């Protein structure tokens, strides 16, 4: 292992690391908003929108992110929509993630007993208030493990961004290997940066999970 090379590559990796994190988390934020909206529509079985949501979920869960990115990156300009690789990456990740988040949140919503809605109604609460103040927080607590798994999965999926020439971690590693053939150093650095990116999510996530679940269910 040549530590001189590692030191030399460090700035490039660091830059790629922050770019990956930035686009990754923007994508995850999009997936959350999308996931909650779609889960809401499916939970309340809103006509038409429900069918559209179902189709969206099946389409995006059952196709690889790489192909979704190709469609966004190379397809959209053909119909006159030009977006940058960064926007494309975040959007692609958000759309893919939204389909996963929606299913996770929906299963959480369905797990909240119907009697919770009824006791809200008996207190004169309107459906939207019941959803926001009673159902969603409980659904969220049950969904935390699934949401966490989704977040980790999505952050790892960022590794295909290189295919649309985003200079993320994977792109940087491949690029450097291609140029200088320091394969071992480049791959070790890649692994370490991914761990630095994901380990805190894992650890903080487990703590959040324990806290929310303990508070509500005493487990």
Partner 1 sequence: MGEILTLKNVSKSFDDLVVLDNVDLSVNKGEVVVIIGPSGCGKSTLLRCINGLEDIQDGTISYEGDVGMVFQSYDLFPHKTILQNLTLAPVKVKKRNKAEVNKEALELLERVGLLSKKDNYPRQLSGGQKQRVAIVRALIMHPEVLLLDEITAALDPEMVREVLDVVLSLAKEGRTMIIVTHEMQFAKAVADRVVFIDGGSIVEEGTAKDIFENPRTDRLKRFLQTFSYEE
Q: How far from the centroid of its chain's Cα atoms is residue 34's Cα?
A: 11
Stretches 22-30, 36-44, 133-141, 181-189: which one binds partner 1 (CB under 8 A)?
133-141
- With respect to partner 1, which residue has the nearer C-beta, 74 or 217? 217
Examine residue 14 and tell whether it contacts partner 1 (CB under 8 A).
no
Stretches 30-38, 108-116, 176-184, 185-193: which one binds partner 1 (CB under 8 A)?
108-116
Q: Which letter does DSSP use for residue 45 in this model?
A: T
Residues shown for the chain: 219
CB neighbour class for 62 (10 Å; exposed up to 12, middle 13-18, buried from 19): exposed
Those residues whose C-beta lies under 8 Å from the C-beta of residue 209, and which sit 6 or more positions away, are 144, 145, 148
Among 7, 79, 115, 181, indicate the residue that binds partner 1 (CB under 8 A).
115
Binding mask 29-68 toward partner 1 (x if CB under 8 A, else -) reads ----------------------------------------
Examine residue 118 and tell whether it contacts partner 1 (CB under 8 A).
yes
Q: How far is the CB of 36 from partner 1 (least distance, A)?
A: 17
Among 129, 187, 196, 203, indicate the residue that binds partner 1 (CB under 8 A).
129
Distance CA 195, CA 1 (A): 19
Among 46, 123, 192, 196, indicate the residue that binds partner 1 (CB under 8 A).
123
**What is the residue-wise DSSP string for 48-97?**
THHHHHHHHHHHHHSS-HHHHHHIIIIIGGGGT----HHHHHHHHHHHHH
Examine residue 11 and tell whether it contacts partner 1 (CB under 8 A).
no
In sequence order, which ranges of the chain are alpha helices (DSSP H)? 3-43, 49-61, 65-70, 85-111, 114-122, 127-130, 136-157, 169-180, 183-217
Stretches 69-77, 88-96, 161-169, 211-219: which one binds partner 1 (CB under 8 A)?
211-219
Examine residue 84 and tell whether it contacts partner 1 (CB under 8 A).
no
Residues in the site for partner 1, rule: CB under 8 A? 113, 115-116, 118-126, 129, 133-134, 137-138, 141, 215-218
């Amino acid at each position: 292992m040549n530590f001189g090379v590692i030191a030399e590559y460090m700035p490039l990796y660091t830059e790629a690391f922050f770019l990956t994190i930035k686009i990754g988390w923007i994508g995850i934020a999009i997936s959350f908003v999308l996931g909650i909206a779609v889960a809401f529509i499916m939970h309340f079985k809103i006509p038409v929108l429900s069918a559209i949501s179902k189709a969206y979920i099946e389409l995006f869960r059952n196709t690889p992110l790489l192909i979704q990115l190709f469609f966004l990156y190379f397809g959209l300009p053909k119909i006159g929509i030009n977006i940058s690789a960064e926007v494309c990456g975040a959007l692609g990740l958000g759309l893919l993630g939204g389909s996963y988040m929606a299913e996770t949140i929906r299963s959480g919503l369905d797990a909240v007993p119907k009697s919770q809605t009824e006791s809200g109604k008996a207190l004169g609460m309107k459906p939207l208030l019941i959803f926001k103040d009673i159902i969603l927080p409980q659904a969220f607590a049950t969904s935390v493990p699934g949401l966490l798994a989704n977040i980790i999965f999505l952050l790892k999926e960022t590794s295909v961004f290189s295919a649309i020439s985003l200079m993320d971690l994977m792109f940087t590693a491949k690029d450097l290997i291609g140029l200088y053939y320091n394969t071992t150093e480049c791959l070790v650095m890649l692994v370490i940066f991914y761990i630095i990116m994901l380990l805190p999510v894992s650890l903080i996530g487990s703590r959040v999970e324990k806290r929310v679940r303990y508070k509500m269910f005493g487990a």
